[in-house]
Amino acid sequence: MTQPSAGNKLFCFGVGYSALRLADRLVAAGWTVAGTCRTEEKRQALAERGIAAVAFERGHPIDDAATVLADTTHLLSSVPPDDAGDPVLDLHRSDIAAIAGLRWAGYLSTTGVYGDTAGAWVDEAAATHPTNTRSKRRLAAEQDWLGLGRAHGIPVHVFRLAGIYGPGRSVLDQARTGTARRVVKPGQAFSRIHVDDIAAVLEASMAHPDPGAVYNVCDDEPAPSADVVAYACALLGVAPPPEVPFEEADLSPMARSFYADNRRVRNGRIKQDLGVALRYPSYREGLRAIADEI
């Protein structure tokens, strides 16, 4: 549930797909919302949604950051780390530490930090053994953010997101254009999360801060990607593409890397600690809702 708007200001480093969903909800509730983006076109688009954005990327820190971040009560970062580290902390660590009255900070990470468990279930207490460079960078960034919280008394929270989908970003888009593929790797399952449920988890955490907490953000049902593609095609009334064995699939190095890890992620903490009831507990409810809007 969205908190009362009086005096609340969210600042988002990186107003991307997930952060924008949260930002829109808070703007509608009367919050002040600001953030960063990389292009003037995006800045103008955000302004039309009531979000004041400033330029930021590595090599281009925020101009007069102390003024821009003043009065921020809640701070979210979705900026991915690069090969040099976390750009937000590298450029604005001291500015964040100096924010007076910061009541909540969140960092969006990935369930990829758990690495490959051969299909076994993991929760937040599981060991982290990331297998690819992207996930290794995310884990390092998590530790950096949590370290910032400990060093300066900032209520930092980490959210490990599963595969994100939602309107305009789901397998339905590929199914409609005929580009969806049903790659089959026996025993493989992927965890997912609808973007609206991400926003709900973040709002719940903002309402119930628990400094240092780490949350898995995923739905209830890890599933093979081929099953999700078949369901999407059924919703659209189109024939599903043929199944292709993983060994025979002509995948890009990036796509192939996702199949290197096989794990099932538990989401009990967001339910038990934050009281979240997922609107889309599986890909079926999520895709059906998206299809109904097409």
**pLDDT at res. 255:** 85
**117 half-sphere exposure, CB direction, 13 A CA radius:** 18
Mean pLDDT score across all residues of the chain: 96
Distance (Å, rounded) from C-alpha 122 to C-alpha 128? 10
Torsion of CA 185, 287, 163, 34, to 10 degrees: 170
In terms of DSSP bridges, do strands 121-122 and 104-110 run parallel, antiparallel, or are they unpaired?
unpaired
**pLDDT at res. 264:** 98
pTM of the predicted protein model: 0.96
Give the gyration radius of the chain's Cα atoms.
Answer: 19
Q: For residue 268, what are its two tokens? A: 């009990």
**pLDDT at res. 148:** 98
Beta carbons of 131 and 263 less than 8 angstroms apart = no
Per residue in 179-235, pLDDT (tens digit) is 999 999 999 999 999 999 999 999 999 999 999 999 999 999 999 999 999 999 999
3-state secondary structure of 63: coil
The residue among 161, 165, 189 whose CA lies nearest residue 261 is: 189
Residue 1 has pLDDT above 60, yes or no: no
In terms of DSSP bridges, do strands 214-217 and 32-37 run parallel, antiparallel, or are they unpaired?
unpaired
| H or E stretch covering 278 | none
Residue 4 has pLDDT above 80, yes or no: no
The residue among 145, 200, 280, 223 whose CA lies nearest residue 22 is: 200
Per residue in 16-30, pLDDT (tens digit) is 999 999 999 999 999
What's the mean pLDDT in 90-112?
97
Domains and CATH numbers, the chain: 9-165+193-219+271-278 (3.40.50.720)
Per residue in 111-164, pLDDT (tens digit) is 999 999 999 999 999 999 999 999 999 999 999 999 999 999 999 999 999 999
